[in-house]
Amino acid sequence: MVSSIFLLFVAAIAFGLFSIVSGLRKNIAAAKRTGLPYYVIPISPFGIPARLLGGKWIALFKLLPKKYWEDIEVIGEAFMLVSPGKMILLTDNAEAIHQVTSKREAFPKPTHSYSILSQYGDNVLTTEGAVWQHDTMSLMLNIIGYVGFGLRLLWPGQTLPPGTDTKLAKYASLDAAEGHTMSFVDSLANTLDHILILLLLPKWLLNKLPFQYTKKAVESENNYLKYMYEFLHDKVEDIRSGNAEEGMDIMGQLVRTSYGDKPTSGSSKKESLALSDKEIVGNAFIMIVAGHETTANIIHFTLANLAISPAVQRKLQRDIDAILEGKEPEAWDYEVTNALQASMVGACINETLRLMPPVCGIPKEVSPSQDQVLTIDGEKHLLPRATQLDLVITAAQRNPRYWPTRPSRITPGAATDMDDFVPGRWFPTDAVAAATNNNKEEVAAVVVEGADTEDFGGFAGPDTSAQLYHPPRGAFIPFSDGARSCLGRRIAQVELLASLSVVFQKHSVELAVDEWASDEEVAAMGPAERAEVYGKAQEKAREAIASASTRLTLKLHGTKFIPVRLVKRGEERFVNCVGADA
């Protein structure tokens, strides 16, 4: 009996080893046929074992001789990662990225990668700690609450004005509504804080775990979902009773699409477009994640970078003063966003998006039905069907081939400033523009055969102002590209422009230097001493930004934070002492 079990065990191991070796040989042969450089790795970096190990498997891999883990820069802008289980094409080549994002049918989105988000309902994605960081999240939540749901959420200390609709009051209130254990805002914020464990662990297990963290996660999610279905029910009742306001909130439009005019016989198309309640709630969840989490992180990193770079901040404020002419925000017109987008405000947002895009990579795959050709620098490469692709946004947006660049003034010895916050690159001189113009025109002139022609809605304009530098298609894709690019791109751009303009019209942001000097000590310092202490804060802030990592989006996690001070303009302590590149 024991010998039989032992033989079965040995046979299972032998079969497993055979499958690994044969799978690796097969994938290596397929990678060679593409004509692209390839790199053999023991496990896929996107597989479950690698995700469970985090970055630890890389440290183990580096125990091998250096030739097996040399810098990938020597490989090129597009190469294959080959493991026993799968092949993955990684690229930061703008031409390749533009082709992939332009051909939705040939290179579809691997919806299984997003299926984890569908537990809140199918949505547009799955179908095909410092206090000031918390404040940026609250700001974006208030904006997306109004734009997405027509809700005016309260700040701490605020109260609802008399006559507020009682249906909306329970969502705006900072207190828990009847039948809930926390407010709507708290339920949403806590759900996002616990999002990974909620997505990864099955509900039955979460309900049984005795830990306070998991109990808080379950309580938050239950409250959030109950609020959302109550909100949906309220919207449906308003429509059925004829009391629905013709507002601009997105969720109201989704509800009107499904519960508005009833389809007449024969109008099967309209009936097929109707969303289920779960799909409406699922899209609401994605709107919150995409419109709140991502935009808040961009505001956070932009404020941090501007605090690190006082000279850039001064230029931004001069542009705000010239464009807004001292008008209060209530008097601003939407048309002013075009001028802001073409100014240092837009350049700072673009530079933050270039360095710290909310999503670091765009997953795609070759159509399972047939192989696909990808042209890179004039050479055609045949990619096997079902090959996984990773369009590496962070690398493409730091590829000096496509950008105005110069030797770094921050990192000694660095050949380029691609890793530096330099908004001035978006206002290139004629000489700098000419230096990058050839590559720009090469990629921009590419006509992608078989590109999508279907209109999926959403803002279809460029990601940057016509007055700013235009990188080649595929080199700047913070909102993705092609038919399935970010539907809320224009909303996000306006949010960012308005938020920065409100902050910097009357205030400045400086790094806090409390770690090195008290307020009294700073007051007694001369310009040179202030520059020295601020330099220490700049160095630490840059290190914190460099530590950002991705869970759902790219942001600071754990104990990493950047302390800053919001001061009235004219009361800055370091503005005349610290120089910074623009």
Instruction: Give the start-to-end residue ranges of the domains of the chain.
Output: 2-110+360-444, 131-289
Sheet strands (E) in 201-303 = none
Q: In a 10 Å sphere around its CB, with 0-12 CB exposed, 13-18 middle and 19+ buried, how is residue 296 labelled?
A: buried
- The sign of the CA dihedral 251, 255, 256, 258 is positive
Q: How far is CA 281 from CA 189, 253, 285, in A?
A: 16, 13, 6
d(CA 398, CA 311): 23
* DSSP alpha helix (H) spans, 333-446: 336-341, 344-355, 393-396, 430-444
How many Å separate Cα 229 from the centre of its chain?
27
**What H or E segment, with its residue span, contains residue 380?**
strand 379-383
d(CA 287, CA 109): 19
When the candidates are 3.30.420.280, 3.90.1650.10, 3.30.43.20, 2.60.40.1510, the CATH number that belongs to 2-110+360-444 is 3.30.43.20
Mind listing the pLDDT tens digit of every residue in the chain (582 residues)?
Answer: 567 777 787 788 887 787 778 888 899 999 999 999 998 887 777 666 666 665 666 666 666 666 555 555 567 899 998 988 789 999 999 999 999 998 888 888 776 555 545 555 554 444 444 444 555 666 666 666 666 666 767 666 667 667 667 777 788 787 888 899 998 888 888 887 788 788 878 888 998 898 999 999 999 999 989 998 988 888 888 878 776 665 556 677 778 777 765 544 444 444 555 778 888 888 777 777 666 677 888 999 999 999 999 999 999 999 999 999 999 998 998 889 999 999 999 999 999 999 999 888 888 999 888 999 999 999 999 999 989 999 999 999 999 999 999 999 998 889 999 999 999 999 976 544 444 444 444 444 445 555 555 444 444 455 566 789 999 999 999 887 766 666 667 778 888 999 999 999 999 999 999 999 999 999 999 999 999 999 999 999 999 999 988 777 788 877 788 999 999 999 999 987 886 554
Give residue 78's pLDDT. Answer: 93
Give residue 481's pLDDT. Answer: 79
CB contact at 8 A, 283 and 254: yes
Paired with 508 in beta bridges are 567
Instruction: Report residue 454 as tokens.
Output: 């279907």
Give residue 419's pLDDT. Answer: 95
d(CA 372, CA 29): 17
d(CA 464, CA 462): 5
Give residue 261's pLDDT. Answer: 58
Paired with 79 in beta bridges are 90
d(CA 552, CA 113): 12
Nearest 5°: phi and psi at 89? -95, 120
d(CA 410, CA 420): 7
Give residue 291's pLDDT. Answer: 64
Instruction: Report residue 146 as tokens.
Output: 């109004």
Does residue 507 sit in helix, strand or coil? strand
Nearest 5°: phi and psi at 458? 85, 170
d(CA 136, CA 293): 10
CB contact at 8 A, 93 and 397: no
**486 belongs to an annotated ligand binding site:** yes
Burial 164-197 (b: 16+ CB within 10 A, else e): eeeebebbbbbeebeebebbbbbbbbbbbbbbeb
CB contact at 8 A, 236 and 259: yes
Instruction: Report residue 234 as tokens.
Output: 């309220």
Q: How far is CA 38 from CA 284, 356, 447, 540, in A?
A: 41, 28, 27, 37
Q: Tell if the pTM clears 0.85, that is, is over it.
A: no
DSSP string, 434-462: HHHHHHHHHHHT---TT-------S--S-
